């Protein structure tokens, strides 16, 4: 930051004025009488949340003379994070998109550069997005202008790879919300008919195995895991999902092998052998298995990866406006495979790693695109404002996962990009 203390306090005074005008736009008294009771309640909730953030900032900066420069800078950082978080909440964003920014006709900006963006009659959503951008411009050492945004966006695009095919999960971002998308694993053309026949044979064999398990004294968990594999094989087109289910089934069957009769043990082993032969037909599984074997990850690393997955899943579960519920739910289900590192297979650990990595790749790529769009000002004002705050919130979640994975990235094939991406995204979020 190249501002003096006097210049910084002048900026803060102007920001405080703008916060007041935004508050006026959210004030429920300014809305027409035809709004329903539900709408009134949503506006009131948004108003109170916003006022909490504004009051905190006012309290932290009210007495400029007694405040040190770092304290004021920290207050600006906290205000920006609060505004980003608020704007990403569904109830707040819906109100902010229709609420009008209300500036006093007699108000005259003493500075006029950043604040010409705040025209009376625009939406509160636009004003908030502009305010976040203005605060970033104050905090960004390079100026935080369009050139800086574009530079960071391009740098991120150059570093972040495409999503890995050697992952059980692939993602997409639709309407600023991350979702899981189905991904069909391809197979060599000449093996397609063989694959179809083998799949049907395994499904039939699985039903026979389930009948035998049901008529035995075997632990019910064996039947559950076999049924889980059946479901994955029949309905999931991603061979890595099927392969991981097979690994889980094999571990469970080995654990209870002593409880099975010789005939049932033989039937179980035969079924698992067929499953392994089936998934080996797919190039994606073979590559996945090779990369998992070459990853130099220890039990301690597995614990760190599991903690990272749990943290990311918890963050996304707490922010349903940012992620479809299936995303944290599936991450948690995968993570259950490695919660006991002493029993976790290398394939399971690698699968969790690749899943988190793909999620980070998708979010960072989305953020890079939006940074570039913001720099060129080609996005629609309202959707662009909402998109920017959602992208920053998602990037914050992804960054937390990337920071956890970064120290281990050198031990995993094709993951060396993470450390450089972390550096760029930290610069973006700190600006």
Domain of residue 74 covers 5-139
Residue 408 · residue 305 · CB < 8 Å: yes
The pLDDT of residue 80? 86
Split into its structural domains, the chain has a count of 3
Closest CA to 107 of 116, 98, 99: 116
The length of the chain is 431
For residues 89 and 218, state if they share a domain: no
Same domain, 302 and 396: yes
Domain-terminating residue out of 265, 281, 297: 281
Pick from 335, 307, 313, 305: which is nearest to 407 by CA? 305
Instruction: Say if residue 163 is in the same domain as residue 132.
Output: no
pLDDT given for residue 372 in this prediction: 65
Rounded-to-integer distance, Cα 245 and Cα 238, Å: 11
pLDDT of residue 102: 65
Residues 163 and 311 in one domain: yes
Q: Which two tokens stand for residue 70?
A: 């770092």
Q: Say yes or no: 313 and 270 in one domain.
A: no
Query: Are both 327 and 354 inside the same structural domain?
Result: yes
Q: Which CA distances in Å does 85 have to 114, 153, 310? A: 22, 21, 21
pLDDT at 166: 87
Is 402 among the domain residues? Answer: yes
Residue 146 maps to a domain: no
Q: How many angstroms separate the CA atoms of 353 and 184, rounded?
A: 20
- 354 φ, ψ (degrees, to nearest 5): -65, -35
Give the model's pLDDT for residue 118.
45
360 and 298 in a common domain: yes
Same domain, 293 and 388: yes
In angstroms, the Cα distances linking 421 to 21, 318, 321, 429 are 37, 25, 25, 12
**Inside any domain, residue 251:** yes
Tell which residue, 327, 406, 366, has the closest CA to residue 168.
327
CA distance 30 to 44: 12
DSSP 28: G
Residue 403 lies in a domain: yes
Q: Distance (Å, rounded) from C-alpha 225 to C-alpha 246?
A: 9
pTM beyond 0.85: no
Question: Do 339 and 404 belong together in one domain?
Answer: yes
Tell me if 166 sits within 8 A of 287, measured CB to CB.
yes
Closest by CA position to 144, among listed 397, 374, 389, 385? 374
**pLDDT computed for residue 362 by the predictor:** 95
**E strand or H helix that includes residue 174:** strand 171-174
Q: Does 135 reside within a domain?
A: yes
Spans of the chain below 70 pLDDT? 1-3, 28-40, 42-43, 63-67, 102-122, 140-151, 188, 236, 372-387, 431
Contact 420, 152 (CB under 8 A): no
Task: Indicate whether 44 and 74 sit together in one domain.
Answer: yes
Say if residue 367 is in the same domain as residue 397: yes
Burial (Cβ within 10 Å: 0-12, 13-18, ≥19) of residue 34? exposed
Phi-psi domain of 127 (left: phi exceeds 0; alpha: psi -120 through 50; beta: other): alpha
Contacts 24+ apart (CB under 8 A), 37-44: 42/91, 42/94, 42/95, 43/95, 43/99
DSSP code string of 95-152: HHHHSBP---TT---SS-SGGGG--TTSBHHHHHHHHHHHHHHHH-TT--SHHHHHHH
Of 231, 247, 281, the one marking the end of a domain is 281
Q: Is residue 109 in some structural domain?
A: yes
Whether 101 and 214 map to the same domain: the answer is no
In a domain, residue 144? The reply is no
CA pair distance 43, 93, nearest whole angstrom: 10
Q: Which of 363, 360, 364, 302 is nearest to 336 (CA)?
A: 302
Q: 2-8: long-range contacts (C-beta < 8 A, 24 or more apart)?
A: 2/141, 3/138, 5/69, 5/72, 8/69, 8/72, 8/73, 8/138
Residue 147, in any domain of the structure = no
Backbone angles phi, psi at 404, to 5 degrees: -70, -35
Q: Which of 255, 281, 307 is the last residue of a domain?
A: 281
């Amino acid at each position: 930051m190249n501002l003096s203390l006097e210049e910084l306090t002048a900026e803060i005074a102007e920001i405080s004025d703008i916060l007041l005008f935004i508050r006026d736009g959210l004030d429920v008294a300014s809305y027409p009488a035809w709004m329903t009771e539900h709408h009134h309640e949503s506006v009131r909730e948004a108003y109170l949340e916003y006022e909490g953030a504004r009051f905190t900032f006012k309290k932290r900066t009210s007495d400029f003379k007694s405040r040190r420069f770092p304290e004021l800078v920290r207050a600006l950082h906290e205000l920006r994070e609060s505004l980003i978080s608020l704007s990403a909440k569904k109830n707040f964003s819906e109100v902010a998109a229709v609420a009008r920014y209300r500036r006093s006709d007699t108000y005259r900006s003493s500075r006029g550069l950043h604040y010409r963006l705040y025209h009376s009659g625009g939406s509160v959503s636009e004003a908030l997005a502009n305010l976040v951008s203005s605060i970033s411009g104050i905090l960004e050492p390079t100026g935080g202008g369009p050139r800086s945004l574009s530079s960071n966006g391009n740098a991120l695009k150059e570093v972040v790879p495409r999503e890995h095919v050697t992952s059980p999960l692939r993602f997409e971002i639709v309407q600023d919300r991350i979702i899981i998308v189905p991904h069909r694993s391809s197979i060599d053309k000449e093996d397609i008919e063989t694959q179809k026949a083998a799949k049907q044979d395994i499904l039939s064999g699985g039903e026979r195995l389930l009948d035998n398990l049901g008529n035995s004294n075997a632990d019910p968990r064996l039947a559950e895991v076999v049924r889980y594999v059946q479901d994955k094989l029949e309905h999931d087109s991603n061979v890595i999902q099927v392969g991981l289910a097979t690994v889980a089934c094999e571990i469970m069957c080995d654990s209870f092998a002593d409880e099975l009769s010789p005939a049932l043990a033989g039937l179980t082993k035969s079924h698992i052998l067929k499953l392994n032969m089936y998934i080996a037909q797919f190039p994606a599984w073979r590559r996945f298995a090779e990369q998992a074997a070459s990853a130099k990850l220890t039990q301690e690393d597995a614990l760190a990866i599991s903690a990272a997955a749990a943290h990311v899943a918890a963050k996304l579960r707490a922010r349903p406006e940012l992620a479809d519920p299936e995303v944290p739910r599936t991450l948690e289900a995968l993570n259950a495979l490695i919660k006991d590192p002493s029993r976790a297979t290398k394939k399971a650990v690698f699968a969790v790693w690749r899943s988190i990595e793909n999620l980070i790749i998708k979010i960072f790529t989305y953020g890079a695109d939006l940074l570039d769009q913001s720099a060129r000002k080609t996005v629609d004002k309202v959707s662009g404002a909402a998109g920017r705050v959602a992208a920053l919130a998602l990037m914050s979640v992804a960054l937390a996962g990337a920071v956890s994975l970064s120290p281990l990235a050198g031990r995993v094939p094709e993951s060396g990009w993470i450390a450089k991406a972390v550096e760029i995204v930290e610069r973006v979020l700190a600006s």
